[in-house]
Chains A and B, each alone.
Chain A
Amino acid sequence: MNTTKHYGPYGGQYVAETLMGPLNELAAAYLEAKEDPEFQREFAALLKDYVGRESPITVCRRLSAKLGGATIALKREDLNHTGAHKVNNTIGQALLAKRMGKKRLIAETGAGMHGVATATVAALLGMPCEVYMGAIDVKRQAPNVERMKMLGATVHAIEEGSATLKDAMNEALRDWVTNCDDTFYVIGTAAGPYPYPEMVKDFQSVIGKEARRQCLEKFGRLPDQAIACVGGGSNAIGLFAGFMDDADVKLVGVEAAGKGLSTGEHAASINGGRLGVLHGAKTMLLQTADGNVIDTYSVSAGLDYPGVGPEHCHLHDTGRAEYSSITDDEAIAAFDDLCRYEGIIPALESSHALAEAIKRAPSLPKDTILLVCLSGRGDKDLENILAYKKSRSNM
């Protein structure tokens, strides 16, 4: 059984002492649930009957033809119930919460997709839910805020710090440390202290496992590259998990370069950060010379996080995965392409992964398959994208 607390120099449990008890309790409960066929059966049944898995693989015929190189195929996590991959993980964690006898769910959210997915499963299981969200994100992802409220969750807008995902996570940690006896903290990404990175990977690994089998069925072989966006990195680690042992499948994580890595206004922790400690883990961190955390920037709220899952840092070091970055402009162009050539409106987060594939495709042979994780749908981003385009056209 893999009970890794560290991935190379990354990971660990850098938390307040009060949280060590709850983390140990969680790790023990998780390892037990992982081995329990009944838990796995219940999880699989909800993924099938409630989320609507499996999610299909769609070949982008017109887009690939336009680019004139490799074939781009999408793993359609956007077609999941709630519109993103996040629900795979929240179902797993909420079932675990129930099993542990916890009465209340809390979550942090950036783009709001994890908040929606947590509120959804809280309603499904009849548990109260409180979601912490940076005030800036509340504004730029307003439809998701309304969705969470509709589902019965309480949404707290966090005004302090940079008023984005990291500050939401700070506040969720404060709630958890105060109410740890009866509260389960549903972390939405593959970051945070052990056992979260491992647990989130396990719950999201359904993406990669399905995709691997589907590629074999559909193409008669594995993809050449598996590409996913990386904020904290949950959809990426879930996709990568399916291909980790397939040495011929190149794993590509795509970070948010925002206005460009050289501008300092980005959220590319692996490409632009250095080793640090935040929210319970050693990770590549965007920080000042003094060790304070930098306000990150990306047009995509879901990638706007200064750290990254510890396993990604390790995969980068070992070379098993490579990590590139995509600017706002490139992501928006990819968004437009997918809308117009394939009739699919992707999330801005996923548009980063797509943009990387679009960059790579033309120089690759036709029989090359680039599998992109389309981690979410873009309905939530429409207002944002219109505003972005308006500001660009005024420049």
Chain B
Amino acid sequence: MKQRITDCFAKAKSEGRGAFVAYMTIGYPTLEKSEAAVETLISEGADIIELGVPFSDPFADGAVIRAAAYEALRQGVTLRDVIALAKRVRSRHPETGLVLFSYYNLLFANGLEKFADEAADAGIDAVLAVDLPLEERDELLAVLKPRGMSYVPLIAPNTPIERVKASAEGLENTFLYVITVKGITGARKELPKELSARLEEVRAAVKLPIAAGFGISSKEQADEICRHADGYIIGSALVKRFGAQS
């Protein structure tokens, strides 16, 4: 089994920095431009790319990512396109971590086995499903693990530490996505004061690396976070940036 995600975090650590996890809604502003955006992000130092699959009902997302998803859907972009794009990115970047970031129904709709075969073939390292908590994830893990893929659990500000541990259990080659605020995706000027302590608490509870996301948009915020986490995730701010360039 490849350990790309583990390696990405190890490499960042050896360089004395936090890993940069970059999210892009694939298909926005167009399929081609989102692929170019991924290339730009990798050239700018992104260690891991989260490939966002557009969904008709993005109930966990803020306005920026929702608008991007609707536009991508309008252009007919599907999971199949995202996986095909992942395969091309993989062929050019053998070491970049690739996480498929989706709502669960898109993975489930045509059969989990079929999805997992295609994702593994494309060189995707791990999957994150926004609406698939610990209680429901086993059926997805059952198709990911045999194919050498992992899962990225979300940890919320109100997730108890015992549950954090349970979420990390049995997973390798992944990280915990620690949500900074209760709410939806989207850039925020200020992050909660208690965040540093929360990150330390989560980090101390698990062996897996942790990365913080939701609301992070500036270099300063990322630097502050990386004093308490192994990496940071930027989403909406990047989607906005590449959308504005079009």
Q: Which residues of A contact B (CB under 8 A)?
A: 5, 12-18, 20-22, 160-161, 166-167, 169-171, 173-174, 177-181, 274-280, 285, 287, 289-293
Contacts and interface: CB of A to CB of B under 8 A. Distances in A.
Contacts of B106: 290-292
Given A15-B131, A20-B133, A291 B66 contact: no
Contacts of A293: 56-57, 105
Contact of A292 (B56, B66, B179): B56
Contact of A180 (B153, B155, B182): B182
Contacts of B107: 291
Given A16-B131, A278-B57, A293-B56, 8 more contacts: A18-B158, A161-B57, A169-B59, A178-B183, A287-B109, A291-B105, A291-B106, A291-B109
A287 B156 contact: no
Contacts of B105: 276-278, 285, 287, 291, 293
A105 B9 CA distance: 43
A290 B183 contact: no
The main secondary structure of chain B at its interface with chain A is: loop
A267 to B, nearest CB: 15
B59 A20 contact: no
B110 interface: yes
A285 to B, nearest CB: 7
A17 B153 CA distance: 9
Contacts, number: 114
Interface in B41-77: 55-60, 66, 70, 73
24 contacts: A5-B135, A12-B135, A16-B59, A17-B153, A17-B156, A17-B159, A20-B163, A22-B158, A160-B70, A161-B57, A170-B57, A170-B58, A178-B183, A181-B182, A277-B108, A279-B57, A279-B59, A289-B109, A290-B79, A290-B106, A290-B109, A291-B106, A291-B108, A293-B105
A284 to B, nearest CB: 12
A253 B103 CA distance: 30
B182 A277 contact: no
Contacts of A166: 57
Contacts of A173: 59-60
Given A174-B184, A277-B131, A291-B105, A20 B156 contact: yes
A291 B131 contact: no
Interface string B74-87: 00001110000000
A17 B154 contact: yes
A20 B109 CA distance: 23
Contacts of A171: 59
Contact of A174 (B55, B59, B73): B59
B191 interface: no
Given A161-B57, A277-B131, A291-B105, A13 B110 contact: no
Contacts of A5: 135
B242 interface: no
| Most A CB within 10 A of own CB, among B57, B132, B153, B155 | B57
Output the residue of A18, A22, A167 with the most chain B CB within 10 A.
A18
A238 to B, nearest CB: 26
A178 B188 CA distance: 13
Contacts of B131: 14-16, 277, 280
A228 B176 CA distance: 46
Contacts of B182: 18, 177-181
A40 to B, nearest CB: 29
Contacts of A177: 60, 182-184
B243 interface: no
Nearest to B155: A17
Interface of B: 55-60, 66, 70, 73, 78-80, 103-110, 130-136, 153-160, 163, 179, 182-184
A22 B158 CA distance: 9
A18 to B, nearest CB: 4
A179 B158 CA distance: 12
Contacts of B79: 290-291
Contacts of A178: 182-184
B159 A13 contact: no
A178 B79 CA distance: 28
Nearest to B58: A170
Contacts of A161: 56-57, 70
Contact of B110 (A22, A160, A291): A291
Nearest to B107: A291
Given A20-B156, A160-B66, A290 B80 contact: yes
Contacts of B73: 292
Contacts of B184: 174, 177-178
A232 to B, nearest CB: 15
A22 B156 CA distance: 12
A2 B156 CA distance: 29
A14 B80 CA distance: 23
Nearest to B115: A291
A161 B57 CA distance: 7
Contact of A18 (B57, B108, B110, B179): B179
Contacts of B110: 289-291
Contact of A21 (B80, B153, B158): B158
A5 B160 CA distance: 21
List of 6 A-B pairs having minimum Cβ-Cβ separation, nearest first: A291-B109, A18-B156, A292-B56, A178-B183, A170-B59, A21-B158
A246 to B, nearest CB: 34
Contacts of B104: 14, 277
A10 to B, nearest CB: 12
A15 B57 CA distance: 13
Contacts of A160: 66, 70
A177 B184 CA distance: 7
